A and B are shown apart, each in its own frame.
Chain A
């Protein structure tokens, strides 16, 4: 029997209407029509604006009848609308009083904050019509994807190896050889490459709709068009970036992205999204009115007592994340991505902002973070915080975690970089970082620590060992942007050089770095292209470059084949050894009766680590009988790190009877003897001692 509420009750011009349902928010297909629902606490009235797809003038404007409002929600069903060929927006009327926080302007057509598809920037880098009265246009979504039996993979977090990636940058370079460069489809073509490398998670830099033309400008000297290439500035939180889809011109980005995720899952690779809930693309009072500002400025943004925008994000405004209504939107959004897109995890940009109250003060029990941690739909998603913000809140080690949140461990990055370039006073802290930072995460376990040396922010790994200073002139800001605290070392010459010794040292330092990363407890993350020596020519903030500076140059895979091989084998080694991926912290004790502590520390003499300030040497051994809290039997692993500029002879700790040391990696050796395929490590002739070259790392396997 058909429902009795599928018939219109009202008429407006040629349109048949009916009171809508407030939930779900946004535009939803219902029998015979579309249910539109939008809330505003302070609007006095609301009008639905309908366009035929890509038309400059609206085809209709339908005011919400007063009786269609429930609470603060305007909800209406419009019958007989074509689902695929319309665009919709809203006009909101209400007070214009910036000091009170209100900026209503019924002249503006506003994007639905819950829009699932957003048109207006359908093709990347195609100049929009700036005279268009409605720049970012809400469209309907088909949310009936053919998922078959797919669902998020739920790989244990301690087993993850994360690969941070820019969707466009990964395959836009002509050398990528894919059919659709710079798109979701392009990534899909490169799945075999990702599998060969061995990572099991890609973390996508922002893919929610943004405007690459936001603050676009021409570099005065080079003439280069500088764009918002990274996209850390969201127009809407529910829609994937159309310009990242080969099928964006057909508005099929939703299906294309889902097909990518499905295929990645079929290949054992999870998908994390870098989500930016700390601010929006509307900027401060001088920015454009796209959506939130015109719908309910006072609710959506953190405002000063004078009605100006707080700027904890460093980008002009701050989303009011702990306003209960905004909090619900964030929760709805993440639930949507987890349920509808099968996203496996989220990395929260400047997450500390999410823990501030509406006036900016840090909360001890932030409701939003708590909600996310205990939400049933997000229950198996990995939640990762960038545990600081641009307002000075730094919470690495103290981010409110509820036993669920992991953190980008900025201290891992800083310590490893200093140790790598031979700074003194780092050995003690390095021991903490190698153990998964129990000093920071003592009750949360090592998997709370996302270990990384490089990320999209800052130098690439190749640049970290090639530049002492940032070189951001190409950004057109007189080299004032980007961090000055890079802890980098150029190995003797600033930038590219023909000096074979310097180049060999740089190559070794890159290998040392990835070796540290893969033998540390916690969750390693590498950034796209580091495995083939990608350079940004010393630019440590390439957010505005949609060009070869940012794109991954696939010819490096050939010229730096040895680096790729080193990364690949390091990753395989980590995956082969449970002793490197403990779920709980090491205890520095023997609690299984093997005769060895789970981790033991050594120096040039076995069992005698040198913790002194001048030491640049650290060695440790992981006892295979203690793998995963003693539940698994693994090999013994010995790692010697010599960041001194001289060669040192290391005495090796004695293995249990019938075990022998084998060499897995020795970064001072030229390829192919720098690293071996896990399982094929050659037996070591001298079982008593090992000569570890200057600034190099050695990894042995006892079996």
Chain B
């Protein structure tokens, strides 16, 4: 999987591509974790992610917990329909702010 990190004003934009499963989730976690500073605003652009396994969803929730603990915000954009559905059915979706596009995501974090 690939991870690109950019800054857009106050917001850290993380672009992810590829499958997120138990093989790749730890490396994604390792890469994103240092970005979680106090009051960090993180936008995860998932439009390049086709599949997320159980471990992948757990990585997301773990990010959410760490961001919340530091009074930050996290928004997901570009979720594939099936991933969104899986997140909904398993209750993971309840924790996240979801937007369709990066622009809307930035607005939501603003």
Known: A146-B61, A250-B53, A252-B54. A82 touches B89 (CB 8 A): no
* Residue A247 interfacial (CB < 8 Å): yes
The answer to whether B23 has its CB under 8 Å from any CB of chain A is: yes
A246 touches B (CB below 8 Å): yes
Residues of A within 8 A of B86 (CB): 247, 250, 252
Does A256 sit at the interface, judged by CB under 8 A? yes
Report yes or no: B53 in contact with A180, Cβ–Cβ below 8 A. no
Question: What 1/0 mask marks residues of chain B from 51 to 62 whose CB sits below 8 Å from any chain A CB?
Answer: 001110110010
Residue of B nearest to A147 (CB): B91
From residue A572, how far is it (CB to closest CB) to chain B in Å? Answer: 30
The answer to whether A262 has its CB under 8 Å from any CB of chain B is yes
> Cα distance A185–B93 when bound, in Å?
14
Q: Is A144 an interface residue (CB 8 A)?
A: yes
What A residues does B91 contact at CB under 8 A? Answer: 145-146, 255, 258-259, 262-263
Judge whether A85 is part of the interface by a CB distance below 8 angstroms. yes
Of B22, B89, B92, B95, the contact of A84 (CB 8 Å cutoff):
B22
**Interface contact B55-A84, CB-CB below 8 Å:** yes
Q: Which residues does chain B contribute within 8 Å of A493, judged by CB atoms?
A: none
Most buried by B among A82, A84, A256: A84
* Bound Cα distance A492, B55 (Å): 60
Q: How far is the CA of A263 from the CA of B92 in the complex (A)?
A: 12
A252:B90 contact, CB within 8 angstroms: yes
Asked whether B21 is an interface residue with its Cβ less than 8 Å from the other chain, the reply is yes
Complex: how many Å from CA A259 to CA B53? Answer: 17
Q: What is the size category of the interface that chain A forms with chain B?
A: 20 to 34
Question: Closest chain B residue to A179 by CB distance?
Answer: B85
Give Cα A185–Cα B22 distance, bound, in whole angstroms: 24
Please name the residue on chain A nearest to B25 by beta carbon. Answer: A84
Instruction: Decide if A247 touches B61 in the complex (CB within 8 Å).
Output: no
Is A142 engaged at the interface, CB distance under 8 Å to the other chain?
yes
Interface residues of B, CB < 8 Å — how many?
16
Chain B, residues 87-106, CB within 8 Å of chain A (1/0): the string is 00111100100000000000
Asked if B23 contacts A180 (CB within 8 A), the reply is no
| Nearest A residue to B89, CB-CB | A185
Please give, as numbers and ranges, the residues of chain A lying within 8 Å of B22 by CB-CB distance. 82-85
**Which A residues from 29 to 88 make CB contacts under 8 A with B?**
82-85
A311 interface contact, C-beta 8 A: no
Report the Cα distance A252→B22, complex, angstroms: 14
Please tell me if the beta carbons of A83 and B55 are within 8 angstroms of each other in the complex.
yes
A247 CB contact (under 8 Å) in B21, B23, B58, B90: B90
A180 CA / B53 CA spacing, docked (Å): 19
Contact call B89/A246, Cβ cutoff below 8 A: yes
Query: Across the two chains, which residue of chain B brings its CB closest to A183?
Result: B89
| Chain A positions 229-250 with a Cβ under 8 Å from a chain B Cβ | 246-247, 250
CB distance from B49 to the nearest CB of A (A): 14
The answer to whether A146 touches B54 (Cβ under 8 A) is no
Cβ contacts under 8 Å, A84 to chain B: 21-22, 53-55
A259 to chain B, nearest CB (A): 3
Which of A184, A255, A256: most chain B CB closer than 10 A?
A255
Q: Check: A536 CB closer than 8 A to any chain B CB.
A: no
CA distance A85 to B55 in the complex (A): 10
Q: Is the CB of A144 within 8 A of B89?
A: no
Tell me if A251 counts as interface (CB < 8 A to partner B): yes
CB distance from A271 to the nearest CB of B (A): 15
**Given the complex of chains A and B, what is the CA–CA distance between A259 and B58 in angstroms?**
14
Indicate whether A146 sits within 8 Å of B95 (C-beta atoms), given known contacts A250-B54, A252-B54.
yes
Q: Which residues of A contact B55 (CB under 8 A)?
A: 83-84, 142
Q: A79–B6 Cα gap in the complex (Å)?
A: 37
Shortest B84–chain A CB gap in Å is 12
For residue A675, give the distance in angstroms from its CB to the closest CB of chain B.
Answer: 37
Residues of A within 8 A of B89 (CB): 180, 184-185, 188, 246-247, 252, 256, 259
Which of A83, A144, A252, A258 is the most central at the interface, judged by chain B CB atoms within 10 Å of its CB? Answer: A252
Measured CB to CB, the nearest residue on chain A to B53 is A84
Q: Fill in one digit per residue for B25-48: 1 if any A CB lies within 8 Å of its CB, else 0.
A: 000000000000000000000000
Contacts A247-B86, A247-B89, A250-B53 known; 11 new A-B pairs at CB < 8 A:
A84-B21, A84-B53, A85-B21, A144-B58, A146-B61, A180-B89, A184-B89, A251-B54, A255-B54, A255-B92, A258-B91
Can you list 13 residue pairs at the A/B interface with Cβ under 8 Å?
A84-B54, A84-B55, A142-B55, A142-B58, A146-B95, A188-B89, A247-B86, A250-B86, A252-B54, A255-B91, A258-B90, A258-B91, A259-B89
* Chain B interfacial positions (CB closer than 8 Å to A): 21-23, 53-55, 57-58, 61, 85-86, 89-92, 95
Which A positions have Cβ atoms within 8 angstroms of B? 82-85, 142, 144-146, 179-180, 184-185, 188, 246-247, 250-252, 255-256, 258-259, 262-263
| Closest A-B pairs by Cβ, 8 of them | A259-B91, A84-B22, A255-B90, A185-B89, A84-B55, A259-B90, A256-B89, A256-B90
